[in-house]
Structures are given as structure tokens and as C-alpha cells.
Amino acid sequence: MNCTRMRQVLDAWIDGELDAATSTEIDRHLAECPACLALKGERGALRRELRANAPRFEAPPALRAAILARIEQTTLPAPAPARHRQWLQTAAFASIAAAVGLVAGLWIERPLPDDSLREHLVASHVASLTDPQRLITVVSTNQHVVKPWLQGKIDFAPVVRDLSADGYTLLGARLDHVGDRQTVAIVYRKRNHVINLFAWRAADYTAEALALQSARGFGMATWADSGLRYAAISDIERTDLEQFARLMQP
Ligand SMILES: [Zn+2]
């Protein structure tokens, strides 16, 4: 934990959103860094001030009841218990899939060092698809607009390429958090499919070769370059995702 990282995660930590390991790192850093401790004090004071003096509005009972009713309606039914035969079929399909993966070479299931990171990336991809406002904060098909917009907000510079000649349209970008990591998602479109290209700092990854895998049915391509890790996630054809990832390589 250093001061830059501390500033990125402080608010999430104050809101109790971080895991225990990161919280321990934060406690340790605060014990030895007066600057960050002071910042924490300021945020705490602001929080108390807002709680005490900012106007609050209670939802009327009718609105509350209507929202609860809607939630009730949209609750998914519990999945039917899997039967033995279904399990066998699934196992058979899995072996076929594994064999195909071996033949394809690149598609061998190769988990990221951090499995929960992969989960977070998929969750963020899915969330971005369900909410168009969340998908893109800066809307632009021009990498000379997207890159400077990012530079004002993060302390790293991910690759933003114009791949329109290859059929990948740049839609824009947004800031995102994956776990406690500050990430950027650069958003592309191929036909009707969205590609979220996540990038984040990982000082211990100077370079990592392209790896392809699947996660919850989505294709995921990962690589690292110059201390940045990248993960491209989409439901496009695997060959397209691989092509996209290769085009993004240095
Ligand atoms: Zn500090």
C-alpha cells in the first residue's frame, strides 16, 4: 500500500466495501503515514457533516411498497435440482470442451492468478451491459478524445487504439473499480457485441503473453505490458476476441 493507492481506495474503505486483507494493509499504512491519516480524518469529518446537516428525504410508504412489490415480482425462481443424468451429460460436454480446448491450444482453461479478480471483471462487464449509462462515461469514437480524458483522471496510460478498419468501433471509456483496483474500461463494439477492455496497474507484471479463457460463458483475453494488465471481455466469437486482443498488443 502506498499513498497513491491509498487515495484510490480510501472512500471505499470508509464505506466498508473492502476485503479484510486490504483493510489490514490500509491500517498498517495509516499507522506510519501522517499525510494519509490526516486525509482519513478529513473524509471522516465530511461524512459526519453530511450526515448531520445534509437534507434527507424519506420515501413515502406507497413508493416503498411499490418498490418492494417489484422486487418480489422479479425474483428469479430457484434452479431445479440437477439430476444424475444431467450431471453425466454436463461432464461429457466438459470433457469434449476440454479436448477441443487442448486442440485449440490457446483455449485451455488458464485461471488468472487471482480468481476473484476474474469474477469481478465479469461482474463489471455484465453490470455495464445492463445499464447503458454505466457503460460509457466519455462517449467518443476518437482515441484522441478518449486518451486525454483518461489522463486527467488516472495515473496510468492504457493503450487506446483506433481499430475501426478491422471492424471494432471505439465507443468510449469509463472509470471502474475491480475489487479495490482502480481500473479503466475502454469500450469497443463489434457488430452488436460490446467489448470491455479493462486496464489497471500491476507493477509486478512487466510483460505477460496473451492468454484466452472463458469465464461464465464470456470470452476473456488477458495480457500485460509495461506494468499494466489488460483483460478484454465479450461474447463475440473467440476468433474475433483473439484478433481484437492481438490488434491491441504493442
Ligand atoms: Zn500515505
pTM of this structure = 0.55
Q: What pLDDT is recorded for position 187? A: 94
Host H or E run for residue 120: helix 115-130
CA of 180 from ligand 1 middle (Å) equals: 16
Q: What is the pLDDT along the chain (250 residues), one digit of tens a residue?
A: 888 888 888 888 887 777 788 888 899 999 999 999 999 999 888 888 888 888 777 778 888 888 888 777 665 555 555 455 555 555 655 555 555 544 444 444 444 446 778 888 888 898 888 877 778 888 888 888 888 888 878 888 999 999 999 999 999 999 988 777 889 999 999 998 999 999 998 877 777 889 998 888 899 999 998 889 999 999 999 999 999 999 998 7
Q: Which residue has the cell 486496464?
A: 199
CA of 248 from ligand 1 middle (Å) equals: 34
Q: What pLDDT is recorded for position 114? A: 60
Maximum separation of any 2 CA atoms in the chain, in Å = 64
Q: Which fold has domain 110-248?
A: Phosphorylase Kinase; domain 1 (3.30.200)
CA of 32 from ligand 1 middle (Å) equals: 8
CA distance 118 to 231: 9
CA of 39 from ligand 1 middle (Å) equals: 9
DSSP classification of residue 168:
-
CA of 35 from ligand 1 middle (Å) equals: 6
CA of 186 from ligand 1 middle (Å) equals: 29
CA of 4 from ligand 1 middle (Å) equals: 7
CA of 36 from ligand 1 middle (Å) equals: 4
CA of 42 from ligand 1 middle (Å) equals: 14
CA of 10 from ligand 1 middle (Å) equals: 11
CA of 34 from ligand 1 middle (Å) equals: 7
Question: Edge-to-edge, what's the strand order for the sheet holding 228-234?
Answer: 138-139, 169-178, 181-190, 193-201, 228-234, 218-225, 207-215
Q: What pLDDT is recorded for position 105? A: 42
CA of 201 from ligand 1 middle (Å) equals: 18
Q: Which residue has the cell 476485503?
A: 19
CA of 194 from ligand 1 middle (Å) equals: 38
Q: Distance between alpha carbon 39 and the CA centroid of its chain, in Å?
A: 27
Q: What pLDDT is recorded for position 89? A: 59
Q: What pLDDT is recorded for position 184? A: 93
